[in-house]
Amino acid sequence: MSFPEEVIRKLQTAERIVVLTGAGISAESGVPTFRDAQSGLWANYDPEELATPQAFRRNPRMVWEWYMMRREIIKKVKPNPGHFALAGIEKRVTRFLLVTQNIDNLHRLAGSENVIEIHGNIQRTKCFDEDVVIDTWDTTDDVPPRCPRCGGMLRPDVVWFGEMLPSGAFEKSAEAVRNCDVFFSIGTSSLVYPAAALPYEALNNRILSIEINAEATPLTVHVDHHFRGPAGEILPQLVAAAWRA
C-alpha cells in the first residue's frame, strides 16, 4: 500500500500521537470482534443478556461462565503485527498514548506501555458490590465465586453497557487527543459511546486524523485519511514507510 506524502511527513515530525483501538486490531490474533456478522461474539449471544449489570443480577452464573470462556480464549492468543507496530511507534515519538476499548491485554503483551483500557481488562476480577479489584479468593462451589472481604459476588473488571468508564479514563484520553499531532482510530466500528466521541475531539481541533479499518464506519467520511484493510498488514507498512531511515 502506498501512503500520502502528507501522512508520512506528519508522522516523521510528530511529537505526540494518540491511537484509539477496538476489537478489529485483535481480529488477526483470533479474538472475535463484537459486531462482524460472521464471527462476532454478538452474533451468537445477545449482549443485553450478558454484558449488563442487570443481566448479571438476573443470571450471575451464566454471565460469569461466559466471561470465563472468553478469558480462556484470550489467554491462548498472541499479539499480531498490528499490536507490535503500535508498540514500535511508541518508541519513536516523544509522547504516545494508546486508548483501547479491548479488554484482552494484547497491547501490553506486545510491549505498549502508555495504555488506557477504557473498557477494563478481562483478566482482572472485582467485587460486584464494593467495586474493588480482588486478586485472590477461596475456591468453593460458588459460581460466581464470593468476595473474600464482603461475601458479595465477584465479576470481571470490564465495563458493561450502562456503566461508567473507569474514573478519569475518558477525560485523560480526550485531553491527550486534543493535544496531539496525529490521531488514529484503528479497528473500531465507532458506534459505542463515549469511546466513539474521542475522534471528534481530534476533528474539532483540526488534528490530522487517520482511520484504519477493514470496512467503512460512521467515522470514515470525517477523517483526513482512511486506509481500508487489515490493521496487521497496514500498520507495519505504515511504520516502515514513515521511519524507514
Which positions touch ligand OAD (CB under 6 A)?
22-24, 27-28, 33-36, 40, 51, 101, 119, 159, 187-189, 191-192, 213-215, 217, 230-232
Q: Are β-strands 16-21 and 95-100 bridged in parallel, bridged antiparallel, or unpaired?
A: parallel
Name residue, grid cell 479468593: 137
Closest approach of ligand OAD to the CB of residue 240, in Å: 17
Catalytic residue among 83, 119, 222, 225: 119
* Number of Cβ atoms within 10 Å of the Cβ of 127: 21
Closest approach of ligand OAD to the CB of residue 126, in Å: 15
Grid coordinates of 221:
467520511
* Number of Cβ atoms within 10 Å of the Cβ of 47: 14
Annotated catalytic, 225?
A: no
Nearer to ligand OAD, 15 or 171 (CB): 171
Nearer to ligand OAD, 34 or 96 (CB): 34
Nearer to ligand OAD, 192 or 203 (CB): 192
Closest approach of ligand OAD to the CB of residue 229, in Å: 7
Nearer to ligand OAD, 93 or 192 (CB): 192
Closest approach of ligand OAD to the CB of residue 158, in Å: 6
Measured at CB, which residue is nearest to ligand OAD?
A: 24
Closest approach of ligand OAD to the CB of residue 195, in Å: 7
Nearer to ligand OAD, 146 or 226 (CB): 226
In degrees and rounded to multiples of 5, residue 38 shows phi and psi of -75, -55
Active-site residue list: 119
